């Protein structure tokens, strides 16, 4: 056995086999170094006397796809993934792909080009490019329909959903699942194909074309479903799936590539790509907190029975926690318990909860009048500012002053509850902050670390409301404002259409107000950076995800242009439009808010 190749791709000869291992932690992303290594492996496979090739990933996963940090930066002399996939497909010896863990996006497209796909039970497969306003650009729209048919291919590519190995086999995407010693099984399968001297390329597969009528109906239904969406990617995906049926394979690949290039240049895709990066950046914990092992929480107390108390109790019970609900007022306690009963009974009647689960929840719920037993819990969620504990505990203060060492939390209703958490500063100990984050995530909250002075979402929403009020105060009809916001993706998902001069002017004012508010939040240390502002704006539904957020929009328009507009509009409302000093600093440094 001998090996060659770089660190990110290992090429090993095992008898008559050539084994290619993707070794680019943490997710085996297909960046330029990996693609160069794959090209070297294919050069070797084409030149030597090996009989078959096995491609697999290291570290418990195959590949999570493209390196988004390199997006749009094609390295000189490094082949694109689509060209590598085509070389794999046309290789004159069989190629077996062994999928483990994540096989996503370009990683799955790489496997689609192989002649046999085996999957470990852990495999998770998806083509999520639509979530970035793109389509699979390495042959996925042409190969997948040939294997699984139009309806299944459209379902996977238009939803971006992740499927497991068993479903992948049922669809025909994977040939079989291998459980014991998968690497040995993949090598054996490659040798068997070589000995048989016969294998099928994906371009020659026709199982997915058996029901042409159903295939065409699926394409038509997809077009109708996505006709009113602002993001064009779903419609282009439907076009490509139709092309797979109608065009010769090579022309289908060219059609797909043109669609990918077109989408990559759209403002919607740029916004979605930035939103993806901003969300990851905004959710990073401070180093001192991230490096701390959180003590487990099994018992939680809720101090205060009014407001969000009933919802908090239900969330904690659903998370399997033992819960103590405490309040100085017996009447408030009874009312909160009544709200919990009503909500749970509604879930039981709707079939979303079993009676047994409801009874189990009540067995873990204790109600106490007064604060005497709060110290029994490992963490306290307080809705009141009069919390007093007999001994130190992790305290999450929800919109109130929680006392020394408490973690401030602002909850913003969203698809997944957004929790702005003040994890640094004051007397917050890293160990307490880490425990608070772990508890918040167990409750299903989406945690974004922020500084004092928020909530960020409320400041942004207030700025937008003030901008709209100013417009209406100047005589702009409410219907015109609503139309402009809908086209711009503000306070909603947006819709297709061409904005006129009036709509553009309205949208510019609103985005400028949001960007200025965001810049002030960054200046004050309330938001850590522009990524935090944009991530919160998107998560809270203030702007649509495809806009990228107000800071991204300011960068696209140009900071000097936005600052000029702000200075003009400040005559109407300095409180809203007087430019943040952050504009001056970034312009002087020739920087963008979003990097």
CA-based end-to-end distance of the chain: 46
Of 109, 120, 203, 242, the catalytic one is 109
Strand partners for 322: 299
Picking from 14, 38, 118, 25, the residue whose alpha carbon sits closest to that of residue 67 is 25
Q: Report CA-CA distances (Å) from 584 to 3, 80, 205, 524, 595.
A: 55, 40, 59, 15, 16
- Told to judge if 109 belongs to the known catalytic residues of this protein, a careful annotator would answer yes
Beta-strand pair 102-104/52-57:
unpaired
Q: What is the DSSP letter of 397?
A: E
Q: Report CA-CA distances (Å) from 590 to 70, 389, 563.
A: 22, 51, 14
Dihedral through CA 418, CA 420, CA 421, CA 424, nearest 10?
140
**Residue 109, Cβ density class (10 Å: 0-12 exposed, 13-18 middle, ≥19 buried):** buried
C-beta neighbour count of 497 within 10 angstroms: 12
C-beta neighbour count of 251 within 10 angstroms: 12
Q: Helical H runs in 65-139?
A: 81-90, 106-112
Of 19, 89, 120, 129, the catalytic one is 129
Structure tokens, 44: 């070797």
Calpha distance 249→251 (Å, rounded): 5
- Told to judge if 265 belongs to the known catalytic residues of this protein, a careful annotator would answer no
> Phi and psi (nearest 5°) for 135?
-125, 160
CA atoms 521, 526, 528, 531: torsion sign:
negative
Calpha distance 253→234 (Å, rounded): 17
Q: Are 231 and 133 in contact (CB under 8 A)?
A: yes
Structure tokens, 435: 């425990």
Picking from 442, 454, 375, 371, the residue whose alpha carbon sits closest to that of residue 408 is 454
C-beta neighbour count of 452 within 10 angstroms: 12
CA atoms 258, 260, 265, 267: torsion sign:
positive
Strand partners for 9: 22
Q: Helical H runs in 131-197?
A: 140-148, 150-159, 165-171, 182-196
Q: Helical H runs in 393-529?
A: 430-442, 456-473, 478-488, 501-524
**Residue 248, Cβ density class (10 Å: 0-12 exposed, 13-18 middle, ≥19 buried):** exposed
Q: Helix, strand or coil for residue 2?
A: strand
Cα radius of gyration rounded to whole Å, the chain: 28
Question: Helix and strand tally (H, E) in the chain?
Answer: 24, 18
Q: What is the DSSP letter of 580?
A: P
**Residue 216, Cβ density class (10 Å: 0-12 exposed, 13-18 middle, ≥19 buried):** middle
Q: Which residues are catalytic?
A: 109, 129
């Amino acid at each position: 056995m001998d090996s060659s190749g770089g660190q990110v791709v290992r090429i090993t000869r095992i008898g008559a086999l050539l084994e290619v291992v993707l070794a680019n932690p943490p997710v085996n992303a297909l960046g330029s170094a990996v693609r160069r290594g794959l090209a070297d492996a294919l050069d070797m496979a084409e030149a030597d006397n090996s009989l078959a090739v096995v491609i697999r990933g290291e570290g418990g996963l195959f590949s999570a796809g493209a390196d988004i940090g390199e997006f749009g930066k094609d390295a000189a002399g490094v082949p694109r993934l689509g060209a590598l996939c085509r070389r794999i497909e046309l290789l004159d010896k069989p190629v077996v792909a062994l999928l483990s863990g994540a096989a996503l996006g370009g990683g799955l497209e790489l496997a689609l080009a192989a002649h046999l796909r085996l999957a470990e039970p852990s495999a998770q497969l998806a083509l999520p490019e639509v979530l970035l306003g793109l389509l699979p650009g390495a042959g996925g729209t042409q190969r997948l329909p040939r294997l699984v048919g139009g309806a299944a291919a459209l379902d996977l590519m238009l939803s971006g959903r992740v499927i497991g190995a068993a479903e992948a086999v049922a669809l025909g995407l994977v040939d079989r699942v291998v459980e014991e010693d998968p690497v040995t099984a993949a090598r054996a399968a490659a040798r068997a194909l070589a000995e048989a001297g016969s294998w099928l390329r994906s371009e020659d597969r026709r199982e997915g074309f058996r029901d042409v009528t159903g295939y065409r109906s699926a394409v038509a239904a997809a077009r109708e479903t996505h006709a009113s969406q602002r993001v064009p990617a779903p419609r282009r995906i439907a076009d490509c799936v139709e092309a797979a049926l109608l065009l010769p394979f090579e022309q289908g690949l060219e059609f797909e590539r043109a669609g990918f290039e077109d989408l990559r240049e759209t403002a919607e895709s740029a916004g979605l790509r930035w939103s993806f990066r901003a969300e990851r950046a905004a959710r990073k914990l401070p180093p001192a907190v991230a490096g701390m092992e959180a003590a487990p929480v099994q018992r939680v107390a809720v101090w205060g029975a009014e407001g969000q108390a009933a919802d908090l109790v239900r969330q904690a019970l659903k998370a399997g926690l033992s819960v103590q609900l405490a309040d100085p007022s017996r009447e408030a306690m009874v009312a909160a318990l009544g709200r919990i009963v009503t909500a749970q009974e509604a879930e039981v009647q709707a079939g979303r909860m079993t009676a047994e689960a409801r009874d189990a929840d009540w067995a873990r719920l204790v109600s106490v009048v007064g604060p005497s037993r709060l110290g029994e819990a490992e963490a306290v969620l307080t809705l009141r500012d009069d919390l007093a504990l007999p001994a130190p505990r992790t305290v999450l203060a929800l919109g109130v002053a929680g006392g020394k060492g408490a973690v401030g939390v602002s909850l913003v209703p969203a698809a997944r509850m957004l929790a702005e958490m003040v994890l640094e500063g004051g007397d917050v100990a890293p160990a307490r902050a880490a425990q608070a984050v772990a508890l918040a995530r167990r409750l299903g909250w989406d945690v974004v670390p922020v500084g004092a002075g928020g909530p960020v979402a409320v400041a942004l929403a207030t700025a937008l409301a003030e901008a709209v009020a100013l417009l209406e105060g100047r005589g702009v009809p409410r219907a015109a404002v609503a139309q402009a916001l809908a086209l711009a993706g503000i306070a909603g998902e947006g819709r297709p259409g061409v904005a006129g001069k009036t709509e553009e002017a309205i949208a510019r004012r609103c985005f400028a107000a949001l960007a200025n508010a965001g810049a002030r939040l960054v200046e004050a240390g309330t938001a850590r950076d522009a990524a935090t502002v944009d991530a919160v704006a998107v998560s809270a539904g203030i702007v649509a995800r495809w806009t990228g957020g107000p800071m991204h929009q300011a960068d696209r328009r140009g900071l000097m242009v936005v600052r000029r507009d702000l200075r003009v509009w400040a005559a109407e409302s300095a409180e809203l439009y007087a430019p943040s000093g952050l504009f001056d600093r970034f312009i002087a440094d020739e920087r963008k808010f979003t990097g």
